[in-house]
């Protein structure tokens, strides 16, 4: 892996690309010391608003194909605290694209999830939850996010606080395949997946269980956030009968439930299989930014972003045949920080960030790492607190295999600051 602090500042004006004359970078990237996380993968990160610290989660690889979900706090200087183990098991579904996350409820509880196999079929797995009421020192007994009991796919979870101890869950659900006599656990690319949600409280009780959309893409990540007015916004990759798989957008308030479903932007991407490339969201007050990948117009993957309900319709961050997408977005300082995996001229994958103004002018771009393109990179995840951000991803350790002959991995990341 190669870290780069080259100034790649660019401004877009009237559709033309202008190189900034001043190469004094406002964004600074520093590698994080994550040496405490050997043999780990699938990292995630959020911010605990009660402590002002980052909370990291990841899956540690154990012998025999087993895994453990672990979490730790990190201060704004990048120093990690004590590691807490949430759970471990040998029947988990551990996957580069579908992985655990953690959310902080309004009352300060931490809620996290992982995926557990329910049958021999490759994609038969369920969503398991655990809660900590003491910031990771201890964890509740496992509880399920859904009650259908079918040996089908349940995953690609997003979570957001929903008042007091309640958390809103959003996930992709394959139970309709079982209802129609199919086996979504084996053929998740062909069976229709649905998008579902539920509220869960401290006792593990599920309420307001809802099917939001009966036909969505089978293996693209979702995203969910709560705006300052208390309403939730969700994005996901939808799926029409004609196999148009553009990004769906829907909003929810506690009184009326989910409503105002629409397409984020009519890319008209027609694809016969799931591209494993979902959207991301970030919010600043009432303003919500969405970022997403598409290949609707050519063989080049395009990374686009827009403010909901505002013009221009979108800004394009990259278009390239070798780009991988895998996007994320956060509010950062007085603007927006976006991440994605692009490509270099020599065919390497480049993990990039861009700082955008409130009006979506691209103020600066920075390549934080280059690596060989592969699934092992996973889905880079990002969180920000003010003008401090943490970006995490998975790195393959060269020429090192685990006890099952798989490439050994570690979690790596950078701390991004604005100066």
Q: What average pLDDT does the segment 82-104 reach?
A: 97
Same domain (yes/no): 360, 237? no
Q: Domain ends where: 249, 275, 301? A: 275
What pLDDT, on the 0 to 100 scale, is given for residue 254? 84
Tokens read off for 251: 């909003």
Residue 97 DSSP label:
S
Task: Give tens-digit pLDDT for 47-81.
Answer: 999 999 999 999 999 999 999 999 999 999 999 99
The pTM for the full model equals 0.92
Quote the domain boundaries for residue 175. 98-275
Tokens read off for 197: 């949600």
What pLDDT, on the 0 to 100 scale, is given for residue 58? 98
Total of domains in the chain: 2
The 167-173 sheet, strands edge to edge: 154-161, 167-173, 193-200, 206-216
Q: Is residue 341 part of a domain?
A: yes
**Higher-confidence position of 407 and 242:** 242
Q: Quick check: 11 pLDDT over 70?
A: no
Distance CA 184, CA 193 (A): 8
Q: Do 137 and 149 meet the contact criterion of CB atoms below 8 Å apart?
A: no
What share of the chain has pLDDT > 70, as a percent?
Answer: 91
Q: Do 10 and 365 meet the contact criterion of CB atoms below 8 Å apart?
A: yes
User: Number of C-alpha atoms within 13 angstroms, CB side, residue 99?
Assistant: 27
Q: Domain ends where: 240, 275, 310? A: 275
Q: What average pLDDT does the segment 368-386 reach?
A: 94
Same domain (yes/no): 335, 371? yes
Collapsing DSSP states into helix, strand and coil, what is residue 38? coil
Q: Quick check: 190 pLDDT over 90?
A: no
Distance CA 211, CA 204 (A): 19
* DSSP string for 146-215: -----SSBEEEEEEEE-STT-EEEEEEE-HHHHHTT--TTT-TTTSPEEEEEEEE-TT--EEEEEEEEEE
Other Cβ atoms less than 10 A from the Cβ of 169: the count is 24
Q: Domain ends where: 260, 275, 290? A: 275
At residue 4 the predicted structure's pLDDT band, cuts being 50, 70 and 90, is very low
Q: Do 278 and 156 meet the contact criterion of CB atoms below 8 Å apart?
A: yes
Other Cβ atoms less than 10 A from the Cβ of 268: the count is 14
Q: Is residue 350 part of a domain?
A: yes
Task: Give tens-digit pLDDT for 133-158.
Answer: 999 999 999 999 999 999 999 999 99
Same domain (yes/no): 298, 245? no
Q: What contacts 94, CB < 8 A, 6 or more positions away?
A: 41, 42, 59, 61, 67, 115
Same domain (yes/no): 238, 320? no
CATH number at residue 122: 2.120.10.10
Tokens read off for 145: 């996010």
């Amino acid at each position: 892996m190669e870290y780069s602090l080259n100034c790649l500042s660019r401004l877009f004006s009237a559709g033309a690309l202008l190189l900034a004359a001043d190469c004094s970078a406002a964004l600074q990237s520093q590698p994080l010391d994550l040496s405490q996380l050997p043999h780990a993968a699938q990292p995630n990160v959020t911010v605990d608003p009660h402590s002002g610290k980052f909370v990291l989660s990841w899956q540690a690889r154990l012998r025999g194909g087993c895994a453990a979900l672990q979490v730790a706090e990190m201060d704004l200087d990048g120093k990690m605290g004590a590691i807490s183990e949430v759970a471990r098991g040998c029947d988990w579904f551990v996957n580069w694209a579908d992985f655990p996350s953690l959310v902080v409820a309004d009352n300060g509880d931490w809620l996290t999830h992982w995926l557990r196999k329910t049958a021999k079929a490759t994609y038969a797995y369920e969503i398991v939850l655990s809660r900590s009421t003491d910031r990771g020192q201890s964890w509740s007994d496992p509880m399920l996010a859904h009650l259908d009991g079918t040996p089908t796919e349940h995953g690609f979870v997003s979570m957001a606080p929903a008042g007091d101890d309640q958390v809103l869950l959003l996930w992709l659900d394959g139970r309709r395949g079982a209802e129609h006599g199919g086996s979504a656990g084996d053929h998740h690319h062909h069976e229709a997946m649905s998008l579902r949600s539920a509220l869960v409280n401290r006792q593990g009780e599920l309420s307001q269980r809802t099917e939001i959309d009966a036909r969505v893409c089978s293996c693209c990540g979702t995203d969910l956030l709560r705006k300052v007015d208390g309403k939730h916004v969700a994005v996901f990759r939808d799926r029409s009968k004609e196999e148009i798989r553009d990004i769906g957008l829907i909003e929810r308030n506690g009184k009326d439930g989910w409503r105002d479903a629409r397409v984020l932007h009519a890319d008209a991407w027609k694809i016969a299989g799931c591209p494993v490339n979902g959207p991301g969201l970030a919010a600043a007050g009432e303003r919500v930014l969405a970022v997403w990948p598409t290949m609707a117009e050519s063989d080049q993957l395009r990374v686009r972003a827009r403010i909901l309900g505002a013009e221009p319709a979108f800004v394009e961050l990259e278009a390239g045949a070798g780009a991988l997408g895998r996007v994320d977005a956060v509010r950062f300082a007085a603007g927006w920080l976006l991440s994605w995996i692009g490509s270099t001229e020599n065919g390497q994958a480049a993990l990039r960030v861009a700082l955008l103004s409130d009006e979506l002018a691209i103020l600066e771009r920075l390549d934080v790492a280059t690596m060989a393109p592969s699934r092992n990179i996973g889905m880079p995840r990002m969180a920000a607190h003010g003008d401090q951000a943490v970006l995490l991803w998975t790195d393959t350790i060269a020429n090192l295999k685990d006890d099952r002959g798989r490439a050994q991995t570690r979690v790596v990341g950078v701390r991004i600051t604005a100066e």
